[in-house]
Structures are given as C-alpha cells and as structure tokens.
C-alpha cells in the first residue's frame, strides 16, 4: 500500500509541473464552492443598464463600458439591492442601497476571494471606492439571521 501512495504522490507532482491548473480555473472553483449557502436565498439580477436589450439583462457575468455609469438592481429573499457603478482611474466606485430587510451585516465578495465589509447608514446606503473590476456579489444577513446573496456580476 505504501508503494501506491508514493507512486500517486510522484504522479501528482509530475502532473502539477507539466500541466498545472490555471489560476482562472482555481478562482472559478473557489467561487463555485463559496456560492453554496443552503440556508441563504438568492437575489437575482433583474435590471442592468449595460444590457443591450431587456432579454440580456439576466446574464449575470458581463463587462460594461466603464466610461458610462452602470445601474444594477437585484431582487430576492425580501431584499432589493440597487447599485450604481462608476469608473475612475484608481478603480470603480460603488454607490448602493439595500431596501427591504434590515441587514445586520453585508459584505462585497470578489471572485478571487477578497471580501470588503460594507458600512451601511440608517437607510441601508453604502459607498465603496477603489473597487477592482471583476466578478463580485453581495452577501447580506438580516437581523433575523436570514442570508441573502446576490448573483455574481462582472464589473
């Protein structure tokens, strides 16, 4: 049995050296695993000003022209998230508001695993500056403990 373990370890090492898993695949796998939240509810993208037609507004991953402001609306789990995205030389600025449930905590998650805690005012509004372009989603938990997560969107 010990010989089989050694052989498997050597073959794994050779495969990792000859044909490594691309970083984009690793990030996508981590994002897919992180999406499982059996107790949470999904807030779907229902409006996107960058969509060329209403039929395409439901495509969750797409790159917008950063020269224009982009407006996104997510709805689900008793929560509506309105988000304005503007481009700048030092990154993106996100202005948003959570409407509906009273969130106890809310985090912006990036596709690479980074997380930014949102500081919400009394009306559920927030502002983030210098946000890196790429796939993001919001994960919120209300005072009752219900989790709501937006679908991924590419900024």
Which tens digits make up the pLDDT trace of 101-154?
A: 777 889 999 988 899 999 999 888 999 999 999 999 999 888 877 888 898 999
Instruction: Give the integer Cα–Cα distance in Å for 85 and 120.
Output: 17
pLDDT band (50, 70, 90) for residue 52: low
pLDDT (tens digit, 9 = 90+) per residue, 79-96?
Answer: 889 999 998 778 899 999
Burial class (CB in 10 A: 0-12, 13-18, 19+), 97: middle
Q: Is the dihedral of CA 120, 126, 131, 136 positive or negative?
A: positive
């Amino acid at each position: 049995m010990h010989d089989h373990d050694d052989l498997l370890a050597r073959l794994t090492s050779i495969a990792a050296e000859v044909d490594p898993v691309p970083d984009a695949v690793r990030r996508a796998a981590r994002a897919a695993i992180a999406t499982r939240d059996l107790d949470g509810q999904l807030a779907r993208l229902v409006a996107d000003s960058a969509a060329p037609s209403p039929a395409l507004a439901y495509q969750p991953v797409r790159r917008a022209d950063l020269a224009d402001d982009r407006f996104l609306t997510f709805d689900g789990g008793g929560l509506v998230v309105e988000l304005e995205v503007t481009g700048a030389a030092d990154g993106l600025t996100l202005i948003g508001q959570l409407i509906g449930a009273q969130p106890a905590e809310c985090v912006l998650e990036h596709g690479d695993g980074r997380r930014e805690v949102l500081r919400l005012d009394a009306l559920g509004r927030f502002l983030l500056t210098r946000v890196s372009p790429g796939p993001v989603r919001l994960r919120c938990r209300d005072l009752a403990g219900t989790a709501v997560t937006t679908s991924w969107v590419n900024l």
